Structure 1
Amino acid sequence: MNEPVRDRLATLRRGLHRHPEPAWREFYTTARLVEELRAIGVDELAIGPDAYDPGDRMAVPDEEALAPWLERARENGADEKLLERMAGGNTGAVAVLERGDGPAIGLRVDIDALFIEESTAAEHDPAAEGFRSEFEGTMHACGHDVHMTWGLAALEAVAESDFSGRFVVFFQPAEEQSGGGQPMAESEFAADLDYLLAAHVGLDHPTGEVVAGIEKPLAMCHVDVTIEGTSAHAGKAPNEGDNAMHAMGTAIENAYAIPRHADGMTRINVGYAEAGTASNVIAEQAHMEAEARGETTHLMEYAKTRLERVMQSAARMHGCRADVDVVSESPRADSDPQLVDVVAAAAGEVHGVERVVPTAEFGASEDATFLMDRVQREGGLAAYLIVGTDHPGSHHTPTFDVDETSLEHGVDVLVGTVRELERRHPIPRGDAVGGQ
């Protein structure tokens, strides 16, 4: 591990790809990152509960769900002392370089994976070349293995340079559940940042293309709903039951009938539903997992409020009770034009980057917006950039992979932006963009 990160980008990324872990279960991943960070040598390293207040976390699994992943990390050689510090699912880390006077710059990269079984097809490079996921049913299907590699390599490059200022890298857990952005944003490490960068690979932009800043990420919330009814014999005495399944069906139908809003786009989806035990039993319990999104934070709140009301009303209509739990959410925050200009200038100097797109609509959701929003509210600038890659499968599919050429592109764009910010600081803010 004495070999510089920059000289083993593909090897590092492939190692992370082999060991994907979902939200708040990134025990091995965090331990592996800490090894690299200690080898790089940073001025401050906060791990797990030292990086944020555990009480600020969202969408945290129970101990029963966490335990197998903790044990798996132990079996794979994760440091026992680190695992003890991450008890309760307190994963992730923040690394800080303190290098004298200059701008305070943050970089956020996400570290979690998805519950997707990775392809075994011969044409799928990770399977063909021996770095397919070793954790069955879980996969880095959104490029977070690339993002972590960028974060480590950018940190190393800045540490070895004559950079003057403060550089903070957030290795954030639980992005896929929108659970880790808020605690990182509420932490002391996010205070007084002049600039905040976040980055994503691909998103249908090809290798050689960079989007300097996204616009219109959707504000969103995840909602879990449990409907409690009364069981009864479906043939002998159906009138004695309160049918949770019937209530669930009404709730789903009415959720999709929530009126759209005149001020902008909203989205509602019920993505998971289950109820009942047998054909001759009136179901006494039903469970749903749903989401609401909006073009602005205000519109998401509208959709969320209507969704909660529909769930409660449908339950009452059928004599049942609904427990509606908003397990996580994230606001909208747009990239600041002044920082987008800096990213674009830096990207234009990177070898292999053939096209720089100033801005593009994101069209999805991201809890990096918590960090962006805090920095913007406190007078700083934020930008979320995309480094293109040719990916044979779409994001969140079993065949997702990346063109590893984008590893170098991402590092160079990020490091170039950091150094350009150092040179130009302070950048006049102008008209605020911020969260909406």
Structure 2
Amino acid sequence: MSSVRDRLASLRRDLHRHPEPAWREFHTTSRLVEELRAIDPDGIAVGPEAYDPADRMAVPDDDAFEPWVERARDRGADGELLDLMAGGNTGAVAWLDRGEGPVVGLRVDVDGLFIEESTDGDHAPVAGGFRSEVDGTMHACGHDAHMTWGLAVLETIRDSDFAGRFVVFFQPAEETGGGGCPMAKSRFADDLDYLLAVHVGLDHPTGRVVAGIRKPLAMCHVDATIRGTSAHAGKAPNEGANAMQALGTAIENVYAIPRHADGMTRVNVGRAEAGTASNVIAERAHLEAEARGETTELMEFTKRALRRRLRTAAEMHGCEAAVDVVSESPRADSDPELVELIGDVAGGVAGVEEVVPTADFGASEDATFLMQRVQRNGGLASYLIVGTDHPTSHHTPTFDVDERSLPIGVDVLADAVLALAEREPRRQPAGGRAGGGTGDGGRES
């Protein structure tokens, strides 16, 4: 197999053709391991070898996995790997041990989205013959580019004079906020001195590099099931406890959660369903919502208010509500010392026309679990952005990546890893850093 660096565009396109959603990245993980085995690092851990499955969040029901396993098997995925990943334990970690030196981590995400990719002839993946082959699923956020970077940087560091330990986290389930927590709690994050996380685009053009983001929103995803009592809507509506009515009250009350004086908060009900027929008092309703905050504490405030309103709305109409926080992630800001190093390095990379030290993120990311773990242990972390000219926004059917950004990303990341081993910038004492926030990411019922 030829060098990854010589196949950046073709590898990214191959990954783009086979997107898989959170915790169902069976073909993707198998494909990554195929590439990793060719790179031949000092170790590869897959699925439950890489993390404790009990630490996963937002894991779908058991019946969600089999179609994706069979699809991966039909495409030639390694059968032993599929057995190892049973139950949705996807993703991988690979590492290089190169003697005395710092422990440096790189986190890239691997999952796709439930979006039907455009069939427009002007859409580059259509014109280039690499449109998604999976109906209703698409790499609409650039994770295909991220995986390509992870492999190419690992290969580059393998061939360098890097001294230390280099760990690459190929993290599943970022889009649902489910994979960052188990990776952060794994043994591979125990001794990290530095962590780099990366995203492509985010409205930054090709040639621009943001050395470290700030103000990612702390986030939680909440599912609620409201149970009432059915009855005949014409004959005896008084005998029912109307879950539909409770749902309507809950939605209205959720949007009435007050904003907070200490900073920005967000709340949204993104999906709701209830009822079976026009003449039946609905006995069940379900909704999916989220809360976000400028800090972890503000997210926790909004989450508590969200859960309380869901439960009291159900009680108001004689129903009961089961509320589950299926995933969440804290806020963690990039460290100034690491931002400065990345900025210095990026300025010398071919194709980089502008280096922006920091930018507000404005969205949420579960890489913050890894960032927070490193920072609390006295290390440094940064989430950088490598710009790309994307024709439409992320999470849209016509999203695409300008492939000129692929070598730029490899060089910025690899040069930053090498610079960390050479310079070893100052690390704070263990016990936490400003901006890290609070919260352990555990489930609540």
Q: Which interval holds the TM-score relative to the shorter structure? A: over 0.9
| Aligned equivalent of 1:433 | 434
| Aligned equivalent of 1:101 | 100
| Aligned equivalent of 1:121 | 120
SS at 1:17 equivalent: helix
| Aligned equivalent of 2:91 | 92
Aligned-partner residue type, residue 183 of structure 2: M
Question: Within 5 A, what are the aligned runs for 1:330-409?
Answer: 330-409=329-408
Structure 2: distance between partners of 1:303 and 1:233: 37
Aligned residues: 435
SS at 2:286 equivalent: strand
| Aligned equivalent of 1:411 | 410
Question: Within 5 A, what are the aligned runs for 1:9-158?
Answer: 9-158=8-157
Structure 2: distance between partners of 1:427 and 1:375: 13
SS at 1:198 equivalent: strand
Aligned-partner residue type, residue 433 of structure 2: A
CA-to-aligned-CA distance 1:317-367 (integer Å, 9 cap, x gap): 000000000000000000000000011011101111000000000000000
SS at 1:345 equivalent: helix
- Answer yes or no: is the 8 Å Cα contact 1:229–1:283 preserved in 2: yes
Aligned-partner residue type, residue 114 of structure 2: F
- Answer yes or no: is the 8 Å Cα contact 2:177–2:328 preserved in 1: yes
- Answer yes or no: is the 8 Å Cα contact 2:276–2:282 preserved in 1: yes
Structure 1: distance between partners of 2:132 and 2:210: 29
Structure 1: distance between partners of 2:301 and 2:65: 33
- Answer yes or no: is the 8 Å Cα contact 1:220–1:291 preserved in 2: yes
- Answer yes or no: is the 8 Å Cα contact 2:378–2:427 preserved in 1: no
Aligned-partner residue type, residue 36 of structure 1: E
- Answer yes or no: is the 8 Å Cα contact 1:103–1:426 preserved in 2: no
Aligned-partner residue type, residue 97 of structure 1: L
CA-to-aligned-CA distance 1:198-238 (integer Å, 9 cap, x gap): 00000000000000000000000000000001111111111
Q: Root-mean-square deviation (CA), in Å?
A: 0.9
SS at 1:385 equivalent: strand
- Answer yes or no: is the 8 Å Cα contact 2:226–2:321 preserved in 1: yes
Aligned-partner residue type, residue 324 of structure 1: V
Structure 1: distance between partners of 2:188 and 2:214: 25
Q: For the structure 1 residues 326 and 428, does the alpha-carbon distance in structure 2 shift closer, same or farther, using more than 3 Å as the test?
A: closer
- Answer yes or no: is the 8 Å Cα contact 2:379–2:427 preserved in 1: no
Q: Taking structure 2 as the reference length, what is the TM-score of the superposition?
A: 0.97
Structure 2: distance between partners of 1:243 and 1:61: 28
SS at 2:192 equivalent: coil
Displacement of 1:428 in angstroms is: 4.5
SS at 2:170 equivalent: strand
CA-to-aligned-CA distance 1:120-179 (integer Å, 9 cap, x gap): 001101011110000000000000000000000000000011111100000000000000
SS at 1:338 equivalent: helix
Aligned-partner residue type, residue 128 of structure 1: A
SS at 1:207 equivalent: coil
Aligned-partner residue type, residue 132 of structure 2: S
Structure 2: distance between partners of 1:31 and 1:365: 28
Structure 2: distance between partners of 1:247 and 1:62: 26
Aligned-partner residue type, residue 66 of structure 1: F
- Answer yes or no: is the 8 Å Cα contact 2:102–2:424 preserved in 1: yes
- Answer yes or no: is the 8 Å Cα contact 1:373–1:434 preserved in 2: no
| Aligned equivalent of 1:310 | 309
Structure 1: distance between partners of 2:359 and 2:166: 27
- Answer yes or no: is the 8 Å Cα contact 2:376–2:433 preserved in 1: no
Aligned-partner residue type, residue 299 of structure 1: L
| Aligned equivalent of 2:441 | none
SS at 1:176 equivalent: coil
SS at 1:410 equivalent: helix
Query: Runs in 1 of length 4+ with deviation above 4 angstroms?
Result: none
Structure 2: distance between partners of 1:333 and 1:425: 21
Q: For the structure 1 residues 304 and 428, does the alpha-carbon distance in structure 2 shift closer, same or farther, using more than 3 Å as the test?
A: closer
| Aligned equivalent of 1:178 | 177
SS at 1:372 equivalent: helix
Aligned-partner residue type, residue 434 of structure 2: V
SS at 1:386 equivalent: strand
Displacement of 1:432 in angstroms is: 3.3
SS at 1:226 equivalent: strand
Seq. identity, %: 74
Displacement of 1:290 in angstroms is: 0.2
SS at 2:359 equivalent: strand
- Answer yes or no: is the 8 Å Cα contact 2:213–2:358 preserved in 1: yes
- Answer yes or no: is the 8 Å Cα contact 2:215–2:332 preserved in 1: yes
SS at 2:65 equivalent: helix
Q: Taking structure 1 as the reference length, what is the TM-score of the superposition?
A: 0.99
Displacement of 1:429 in angstroms is: 3.8
- Answer yes or no: is the 8 Å Cα contact 2:22–2:172 preserved in 1: yes
